[in-house]
Amino acid sequence: MHEQNILALADDLRARRYSSVELTRHYLERIARLNPDLNAFITVAAEPALAAAGRADAALAAGTAGPLTGIPIAHKDIFCTQGLRTSCGSRMLDNFIAPYDATVVERLAAAGAVVLGKTNMDEFAMGSSNETSWYGPVKNPWDHTRVPGGSSGGSAAAVAARLCAAATGTDTGGSIRQPAALCGITGIKPTYGRCSRWGMIAFASSLDQAGPMARSAADAALLLQAMAGFDPRDSTSIDTPVPDYTAGLDQDLAGLRIGLPKEYFGDGLDARTAASIDGAIREYERLGARVSEISLPNSPLSVPVYYVVAPAECSSNLARFDGVRYGHRCQAPTDLEDLYQRSRAEGFGPEVQRRIMIGTYVLSAGYYDAYYLKAQKIRHLIAEDFKRAFTQVDVIMGPSSPTTAFPIGAKRDDPVAMYLSDIYTIATNLAGLPGMSIPVAPVDGLPVGLQIIGNYFEEGRLLNVAHRLQQETHWHCAVPTGCA
């Protein structure tokens, strides 16, 4: 059953070849067998999942089921889920039981999806390897000595290892696309504001965006259809109609204009990764697309800009975690100041502390203009580069990551090297654009991801472009050894 995509699973459920309860039990058995080594899940919600599966079976029997009814999925542990621990991969929230569902969780539940549990992640979504989690690193299903990417590494690993049919993720600087690339799955970051952020614990509020992680573009389209839409509870949500993402998947690509940014194919990109990306581009040309070189001249500045803006916002967002109202509290504080200092020092890991300190520094009175204000000005220039590019091309393509998955521990003590793992993905978050990663030809048995970037609210075009390649190739169907 786990070998089937969502469309096939939905057909089987409607045909009553097996029940959602049977399907859910099957995935729970795989989680029990494979997760102790992979560490992809923080929380497994077996009883609630089986109860939800029973309700899905009733809907299927009554003929009121939708395309996701009875489909077992997982949520990144950054989404509040009523009655379940929502930890954000941090000791700070290890004991936090969410009193409500995030909008994304609510909408997928309304669509009939069954939640198997909550997936591991870099602490408060700060990381590119899933090594900053309080619960330990996630292992890449393709090679257990390597990272799965981050911060949505648990979701990516769970989907790649077939521990769930699909999963949710969040993307602040590449945290859906980079782990999707390193684990060989499909992941899409929608336009900023397309999916509600309500109930999604904030890292950097002007950058964070929820999105689906799945085996294929067709599966991702089904999830995004349920997740997207205006939410009056979220002030950053955009009130614009959500198209039928599945309707245009098969659209012909003849005449599609693809732009290749010269800045994405220079120094720093592994030669064999570049060759794999080039092979996928040639396949698009065979499908009728036209390819041209473009320039995004300010994109090399995206990493330094991001690491001013994102820490500044996290410094503000994480100020609420003080050990008073909820979250980790130190033992026997001597006074209020001691309570604050020790609770935060014990509750937050080194990477989160580093970013809070950087953010507080760049927002301070003496440095705001020199760092934060300047970064916001360059952010505007980066967005303008994309706007000019989209007057010439329909989509932009390039690598999702400069290399394949690197060994666990290889970059743990070198923050700058770790930050450069997201060098090709950060600019789309700064501009608020949609982007996705799909698997292309592997290198030495390790997945490689092709990044596709679109204009604002053109998720449907991205899904169509990705789906057409996946109709012609088999890279997205590959299963890691030991997970079949």
Residue 223 Cα distances to 10, 107, 114, 433, 458, angstroms: 13, 10, 12, 19, 16
* Total tally of structural domains belonging to the chain: 1
Q: Which residues are within 8 A (CB) of 318 and not within 5 positions of it... i.e. 6 or more apart? A: 124, 348, 352, 356
Stretch 340-353: mean pLDDT, rounded?
Answer: 96
Give the CATH number, domain containing residue 10: 3.90.1300.10
Other Cβ atoms less than 10 A from the Cβ of 28: the count is 21
Q: pLDDT tens-digit profile of 305-341?
A: 999 999 999 999 999 999 898 899 999 999 999 999 9
- What is the pTM (predicted TM-score) of this model? 0.97
Q: pLDDT tens-digit profile of 247-291?
A: 999 999 999 999 999 999 988 999 999 999 999 999 999 999 999
| pLDDT above 90 (res 416) | no
Residue 149 Cα distances to 71, 268, 320, 332, 352, angstroms: 25, 18, 28, 38, 17
Number of C-alpha atoms within 13 angstroms, CB side, residue 382? 25
Stretch 20-49: mean pLDDT, rounded?
Answer: 98
Question: Which tokens in the block code for residue 40?
Answer: 């992809």
**Residue from 384, 392, 424, 434 nearest 300 by CA:** 424
Active site residue ranges: 76, 151, 175
pLDDT at residue 413, as a whole number: 87
pLDDT at residue 257, as a whole number: 98
Q: pLDDT tens-digit profile of 187-208?
A: 999 999 999 999 999 999 999 9
Question: Which tokens in the block code for residue 283?
Answer: 């396949």
Beta-ladder partners of 119: 41, 76
State how far the Cα of 90 lies from the Cα of 84, in Å rounded to an integer. Answer: 15
Residue 355 Cα distances to 123, 144, 241, 313, angstroms: 12, 28, 36, 10
**Structure confidence at residue 484 as a pLDDT band (50, 70, 90):** confident
Q: pLDDT tens-digit profile of 209-229?
A: 999 999 999 999 999 999 999
Let me know: does 49 contact 114? Beta carbons within 8 Å. yes
Residue type for position 287: L
- What's the mean per-residue pLDDT of the chain? 96
Q: pLDDT tens-digit profile of 111-127?
A: 999 999 999 999 999 99
State how far the Cα of 425 lies from the Cα of 188, in Å rounded to an integer. Answer: 12
Residue 315 Cα distances to 307, 339, 340, 386, angstroms: 12, 18, 15, 28
Omega cis (within 30) before 151:
yes
What phi and psi values does residue 294 have, to the nearest 5 degrees?
-130, 175
Look at the chain and count its residues. 484
Stretch 19-23: mean pLDDT, rounded?
Answer: 98
Question: Which tokens in the block code for residue 8?
Answer: 């096939």
Chain center to CA of 39: 17
DSSP 356-413: HHHHHHHHSTTTIIIIIIHHHHHHHHHHHHHHHHTTT-SEEEEESSSSSPPBTTSSTT
What range defines the domain where residue 156 resides? 1-484
**Structure confidence at residue 37 as a pLDDT band (50, 70, 90):** very high
**Structure confidence at residue 482 as a pLDDT band (50, 70, 90):** confident
Residue type for position 293: E
Residue type for position 208: D
pLDDT at residue 1, as a whole number: 86
Q: pLDDT tens-digit profile of 71-112?
A: 999 999 999 999 999 999 999 999 999 999 999 999 999 999
DSSP state at residue 441: E
